[in-house]
């Protein structure tokens, strides 16, 4: 007596797409960060540039005399870290910097509760966890890290 396996194996169907979906998530995560950095660094997309953002960080966020440096650092991490993450270049280092930045940024939102619609911390924490996942797993098969044989 022969038996036939009629079970549906979704994993077999989705396995060939694993590398491309990882790349899609990495690219999207990185590219979504870039405009935020461009706002801080260049005043693009309705941003205030370094001077305005530095003043906001100093006066509204409590960075005091370090407001400009905090704006510069966060802008650089968002802009260049996002580009590097999207390209999969030095992925672990770039995404670790992004994750740290977003954990610090989320601390600014803790007083507003959970929901992002009220200025809460859910959104920056979500992005921090996405970045952290690439700090752990690396850029994946479709990354410049893989193409250049980098393990960072």
The tens place of each residue's pLDDT in the chain, 152 residues long, gives 555 566 788 888 888 888 899 999 999 999 999 999 999 999 999 999 999 999 999 999 999 999 999 999 999 999 999 999 999 999 999 999 999 999 999 998 889 999 989 989 999 999 999 999 999 999 999 999 999 999 87
The answer to whether 97 and 77 have CB atoms below 8 angstroms apart is yes
Distance CA 103, CA 40 (A): 18
CA distances from residue 66 to 11, 16, 104, 142 in whole angstroms, order as listed: 50, 48, 15, 38
Distance CA 67, CA 90 (A): 28
Distance CA 73, CA 143 (A): 25
CA distances from residue 46 to 36, 38, 88, 96 in whole angstroms, order as listed: 10, 10, 28, 27
Distance CA 28, CA 54 (A): 27
- Evaluated on CA atoms 151, 25, 77, 127, the torsion sign reads negative
Q: Is 84 helix (H, G, I), strand (E, B) or coil?
A: helix
Q: What is the pTM of this model?
A: 0.88
The answer to whether 53 and 39 have CB atoms below 8 angstroms apart is yes
């Amino acid at each position: 007596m022969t038996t036939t396996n009629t079970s549906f194996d979704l994993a077999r169907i989705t396995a060939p797409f694993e590398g491309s979906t990882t790349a899609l998530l990495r690219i999207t995560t990185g590219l979504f960060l870039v405009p935020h950095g461009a706002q801080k660094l260049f005043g693009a997309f309705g941003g205030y540039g370094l001077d305005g953002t530095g003043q906001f960080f100093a006066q509204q966020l409590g960075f005091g005399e370090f407001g400009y440096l905090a704006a510069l650092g966060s802008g650089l991490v968002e802009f260049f870290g996002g580009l590097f993450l999207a390209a999969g270049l030095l992925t672990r280092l770039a995404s670790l910097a992004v994750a740290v930045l977003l954990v610090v940024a989320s601390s600014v939102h803790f007083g507003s509760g959970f929901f992002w619609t009220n200025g809460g911390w859910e959104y920056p924490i979500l992005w921090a966890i996405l970045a952290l996942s690439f700090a752990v797993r690396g850029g994946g098969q479709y990354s410049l890290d893989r193409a250049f044989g980098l393990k960072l």
